[in-house]
Chain A
């Protein structure tokens, strides 16, 4: 292996590391953050649709019930997140990596 090849392979490794580092430090947390935010928005939507799940009668539950067949994933995720969430602070805290 001559020098040129060794430089080439070194650069490839470096590039890979840098890409990984960038992904780990910047892209992935950002991606996670947006996704968490999206989940929060979805939870707000679910809560607006089905407040009776918390004992708040809603005049629109009758109509939003029509959406239930199309909300399987959302519903499952919503329930899971409700179980999983001790406090709102905890949920927000999960979005930061120290």
Chain B
């Protein structure tokens, strides 16, 4: 399977658990694996009982498994600082304030978090030579889907920006009649250069996501989760990504047949409705159901994670990436 594997789904369905379990399975099968989480709640830390930050760090006790957590807020700040640094080097003191205001406005726009996350995602994919497999535990559906749609959108946008810039420089060059020095020159224009760099970045992102990534959706056996999954599958398909498989998590355990108390009756009813829903998934949804994972009474960590991993029927074999 592809080297990059994404797990997505509604909030709270257990994406992190499933991603970590899959990461564990990959590592056990001898693939050097990295688990990347974008969950600001730091659930990977809880699963492995060890703290992680935004650079990969080996998971204690598991050979060949690294993990990292990306905090979008940190990423936005880092990006801002980088530009500010650049600004103070290039721009005269009197203009810095003006431009700074614009800069802060740009980083306060609603898309900034997503862009920061996206940048970091792609960065990890670009520098993934050290790993055979990278498992992405993505943020809840909506924003992730928008994230995956970014490259196409942005490539087009950048193209238009470059066209506008070229037009204006071309006119400035034409306006320089006789011995006049043109106000802007096409050769070595830093703005065009930057835009070109960005364009290549998005091109890489687009092709890596299309050719080297597989998507799985995690869901719970309830109506809301089902509906959301259905929408996600459609959204992803619209963007040209096929969901490889569905993972049903938090299935209710059935009671022993001789039990007949209130709890047992409740469980039996739930199991029955859940079975129906699973049937719906199998018959109506195109991506196959690759795992059915039961509820655990305790937090999933340590040995329990290995249990969950065993229930995952997702292959771990790795194909080399085509675009790195």
Contact = CB atoms under 8 A, between A and B. Distances in A.
Contacts, number: 128
Given A37-B171, A65-B83, A76 B164 contact: no
A71 B86 CA distance: 12
A42 B164 CA distance: 7
Contacts of A38: 168-172, 174-175, 183-184
How would you classify the secondary structure of chain B's contact residues: helix, strand, loop or mixed?
A: helix
A53 B102 contact: yes
A21 interface: no
Interface residues of B, number: 50
Interface residues of A, number: 37
How would you classify the secondary structure of chain A's contact residues: helix, strand, loop or mixed?
A: helix
A97 to B, nearest CB: 16
Interface in A25-71: 27, 30-31, 34-35, 37-39, 41-42, 44-45, 48-50, 52-53, 57-71
Given A38-B171, A38-B175, 5 more contacts: A42-B168, A69-B99, A71-B99, A71-B191, A76-B95
Interface of B: 79, 83, 86-87, 89-92, 95, 98-99, 102-103, 105-107, 109-112, 114-116, 150, 153-154, 157-158, 160-161, 164-165, 167-172, 174-175, 177-178, 180, 183-184, 190-191, 194-195, 198
7 contacts: A31-B180, A38-B171, A38-B174, A50-B106, A60-B157, A62-B111, A72-B92
